[in-house]
């Protein structure tokens, strides 16, 4: 079933609703989940917010081409509407974005008009709980121009096996060291609309078990891709391994289609791959 929206949902009420409903959720990989496909036509980019996003993520400003990660920002309120719903079986509190796969079929202009579609593709068992797979598609006149698959993990007791089982590849060569300011979470939150309290201030982050505020996972992948660069047609895969505490210092590493963000003692925060597409 498709539900056509007239405007993008407001994130703060969705976060509040999801938080209130979280204690009543009973996560399981075989649970029922919302099958609704949300559609938002006539989407145009707020150029001021885009410029703020580009600055905080390290993309060049002033271009008419959208950064490869920006459509995620456009679709996130629709995803949150689905995941904060009473029918969604996983608790929103504690839900962790574990990975994203992005396919860009053609360049997208900042001044274009688009249609967003978001749906939950399924629930899958994970060695630490259950993951929801959320699919976002962006359409223009020529069809689908951008799409992504995100996985969000709800931790709970489970007998499932999975996750990383293969040997880790050798660390990539260091390209740069980045000192990340303590206000990156607030700046990214203002530009993206994702004002989850774990990213905003040490006090609110401590309520959720973090010693300091942590960077948004989507900020880390955007920052890496801004440094790496991507062709017009491309497939990107990124796995969020460990949170980046703010403020902090990280190492950006890249070689041969792979990139990483590493912290102290070579802890991998983010690992990703870039595949140019030929058609």
Q: What is the DSSP string of 4-20?
A: E-SSPPPHHHHHHHHHH
Cβ density class 66-96: b for 16+ within 10 Å, e for less: bbbbbbbbbbbbbbbbbbbbeebbbbbebbe
Task: Supply the pLDDT for residue 154.
Answer: 95
Burial category of 186 from C-beta neighbours within 10 Å (exposed 0-12, middle 13-18, buried 19 and up): middle
pLDDT for res 240: 97
Sheet holding 258-262, edge to edge: 2-4, 37-44, 113-126, 129-140, 143-155, 96-104, 234-240, 268-276, 258-262, 248-255, 174-180
| Per-residue pLDDT band at 167 (split at 50, 70, 90) | low
Structure tokens at 87: 């029918």
**Residue 34 reports pLDDT greater than 60:** yes
Assess contact for 100 and 128: CB atoms under 8 A.
no
Confidence of residue 166 (pLDDT cuts 50, 70, 90): low
Six-digit token pair at 5?
Answer: 């929206």
Q: pLDDT tens across 79-107, in order?
A: 999 999 999 999 999 899 999 999 999 99
Percent of the chain with pLDDT over 90: 84
Contact of 31 with 123, CB cutoff 8 Å: yes
pLDDT value of residue 73: 97
- What's the whole-model pTM score? 0.93
């Amino acid at each position: 079933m498709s539900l056509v929206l007239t405007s993008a949902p407001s994130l703060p009420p969705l976060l509040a609703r999801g938080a209130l409903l979280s204690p009543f959720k009973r996560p399981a990989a075989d649970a029922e989940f919302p099958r609704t496909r949300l559609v938002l036509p006539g989407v145009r980019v707020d150029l001021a917010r885009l410029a703020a996003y580009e600055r905080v993520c390290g993309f060049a400003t002033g271009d008419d081409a959208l950064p490869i990660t920006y459509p995620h920002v456009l679709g996130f309120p629709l995803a949150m509407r689905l995941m904060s719903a009473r029918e969604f079986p996983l608790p929103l509190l504690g839900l962790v974005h574990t990975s994203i796969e992005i396919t860009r079929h053609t360049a997208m202009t900042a001044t274009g008009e688009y249609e967003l579609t978001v749906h939950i593709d399924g629930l899958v068992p994970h060695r630490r709980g259950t993951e929801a797979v959320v699919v976002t598609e962006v359409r223009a006149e020529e069809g689908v121009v951008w799409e992504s698959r995100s996985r969000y993990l709800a931790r709970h007791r489970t007998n499932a096996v999975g996750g990383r089982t293969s040997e880790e590849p050798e660390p990539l060569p260091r390209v740069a060291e980045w000192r990340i300011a303590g206000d990156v979470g607030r700046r990214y939150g203002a530009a993206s609309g994702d004002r989850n309290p774990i990213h905003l201030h040490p006090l609110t982050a401590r309520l959720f078990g973090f010693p300091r505020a942590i960077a948004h996972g989507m900020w880390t992948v955007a920052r890496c891709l801004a440094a790496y660069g991507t062709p017009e047609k491309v497939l990107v895969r990124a796995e969020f391994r460990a949170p980046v505490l703010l403020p902090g210092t990280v190492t950006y590493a890249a070689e041969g289609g792979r990139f990483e963000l590493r912290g102290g003692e070579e802890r991998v925060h983010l690992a990703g791959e870039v595949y140019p597409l030929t058609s």
